[in-house]
Amino acid sequence: MVRASAAGKVILLGEHAVVYGRPAIAIPLSGLRATATLAPHPAPFHIQAPAVGIDAPLSALPADHPLARIVYLTAKHLHRPPPDALLRIESEIPVASGLGSGAAVSTAIVRALAAWYGVSLDPPTVSALVYEIERIYHGTPSGIDNTVIAYEQSIYFVRGRPPEPLPVGTTLHLLVADSGIPSPTRVVVGDVRRHWEAEPARYEALFDRVAQEVEAAREAMAQGDIRALGKRMDANHELLREIGVSAPVLDRLVETARRAGALGAKLSGAGRGGTIVALVEKSTARAVEEALRATGAAQVWRTEVASP
Ligand code: MEV
């Protein structure tokens, strides 16, 4: 039997603009994982994914189903057939919440199949395989989700380029709060594209302003200036509102986090629903977490970005 897992992710700054070639910053959520287990099975490859109600032979799934696609793609890459095995998928990452659940499930499957055949795949290879599936989930993905999850490290990312590691001058304490409202990335990314097509100059200018916030945030992180970083996150949230991807529930969570002492807060991921991310100090983390729960956050996770 082999077991492999992959982390969720949170986008700290730059979502949406990253689809249009601007930089973004993403962080793995190593404590929140999807797991793929492969066990010997007498019959041909069988998939169990209880969370999405799948319990079927691989051959019974449509060939373009994301789970089938990643199995076929990985097997092809490994020059092996899908083995006679039972694949069981379990995930702690809520679906359609901006936390990269689809990319994490795909990554866990790639890793499990490679481990089954005793092959070690490097992060760029895993990322490239998962990107193919992201295109089914997302339409026009930037590639940031598969990259941060395959590398499982904090990254500065520009579409089409290798990710750059992100130096941090001081440990960052983050809270990630799920609004509990699912929001498929594909839909929101499609809406932004329609707006961009209708008003290209306005949207290009908004994306440029997001890029400025990302660059300034990267600098602030390197210097360990958490107050400056928080301000950049706040500014990025305002820009995401202008881009049209916030929602009253997200604005409320962001406002709650700030009032309870967060240094900055913004929606994270595609928006409309899904999650927010708040930058806190260790001493205020608890109060902010409690305030978020009291305002109706379905779940709140704490994570850290450690300085070396
Ligand atoms: C999704 O995690 C981030 C978006 O920018 C989409 C993408 O980059 O593919 C909304």
Q: Are residues 21 and 82 in the same domain?
A: yes
Q: Are residues 7 and 153 in the same domain?
A: yes
pLDDT for residue 1: 95
Q: Are residues 104 and 187 in the same domain?
A: no
Mutational test site, ligand 1, from 19, 22, 29, max ligand atoms within 8 Å of CB:
19
Q: Which domain CATH number covers 9?
A: 3.30.230.10
Helices of type H across 57-100: 66-78
Q: Residue 192 domain-assigned? A: yes
Residue 17 tokens, joined: 């603009």
Q: Are residues 184 and 281 in the same domain?
A: yes
Q: Are residues 43 and 70 in the same domain?
A: yes
Q: Relative to the CA of 140, which ligand 1 atom is closest?
A: 9
Mutational test site, ligand 1, from 140, 145, 206, 240, max ligand atoms within 8 Å of CB:
145
Q: Are residues 38 and 112 in the same domain?
A: yes
Give the domain-ending residue among 157, 187, 212. 157
Q: Using DSSP, state whether 272 is helix, strand or coil.
A: coil
**Catalytic status, residue 225:** no
User: Is the pTM higher than 0.75?
Assistant: yes
pLDDT for residue 136: 81
Residues within a 6 A CB radius of ligand 1: 11, 15-16, 18-19, 98, 138, 141-142, 144-145, 185, 189, 269-270
Q: Residue 162 domain-assigned? A: no
Q: Relative to the CA of 159, which ligand 1 atom is closest?
A: 8
Q: Please give the angle made by the CA atoms of 4, 8 and 164, to the nearest 5 degrees.
A: 100
Residue 100 CA to ligand 1 center (angstroms) comes to: 9
pLDDT for residue 307: 77
Separation CA 78–CA 195 (nearest Å): 41
Residue 82 CA to ligand 1 center (angstroms) comes to: 30
Q: Relative to the CA of 271, which ligand 1 atom is closest?
A: 10
Largest CA distance in the chain: 59
Are residues 246 and 237 in contact, defined by beta-carbon separation less than 8 angstroms? yes
Q: Whose CA is nearest to atom 10 of ligand 1?
A: 270
Residue 222 tokens, joined: 């390197």
Q: Are residues 41 and 77 in the same domain?
A: yes
Q: Are residues 6 and 146 in the same domain?
A: yes
Q: Are residues 297 and 178 in the same domain?
A: yes
Q: Are residues 139 and 179 in the same domain?
A: no
Domain that holds residue 294: 167-305
Are residues 264 and 233 in contact, defined by beta-carbon separation less than 8 angstroms? yes
Q: Whose CA is nearest to atom 1 of ligand 1?
A: 269
**pLDDT (tens digit, 0 to 9) for every residue of the chain, 308 residues total?**
999 999 999 999 999 999 999 999 999 999 999 999 999 998 899 999 998 899 999 999 998 899 999 999 999 999 999 999 999 999 999 998 999 999 999 999 999 999 999 999 999 999 999 999 998 877 789 999 999 999 999 999 999 999 999 999 999 999 999 999 999 999 999 999 999 999 999 999 999 999 999 999 999 999 999 999 999 999 999 999 999 999 999 999 999 999 999 999 999 999 999 999 999 999 999 999 999 999 999 999 999 998 76
Q: Which of 181, 185, 148 is nearest to 275 (CA)?
A: 181
Separation CA 242–CA 195 (nearest Å): 11
Q: Are residues 86 and 141 in the same domain?
A: yes
Give the domain-ending residue among 157, 177, 200. 157
Residue 266 CA to ligand 1 center (angstroms) comes to: 15
Q: Residue 123 domain-assigned? A: yes
Residue 44: what are its φ and ψ, rounded to 5°?
-60, 165
Are residues 288 and 278 in contact, defined by beta-carbon separation less than 8 angstroms? yes
Mean pLDDT of the chain: 96
Q: Please give the angle made by the CA atoms of 59, 7 and 276, to the nearest 5 degrees.
A: 115
Count structural domains, the chain. 2
pLDDT for residue 308: 64
Give the domain-ending residue among 102, 128, 157. 157
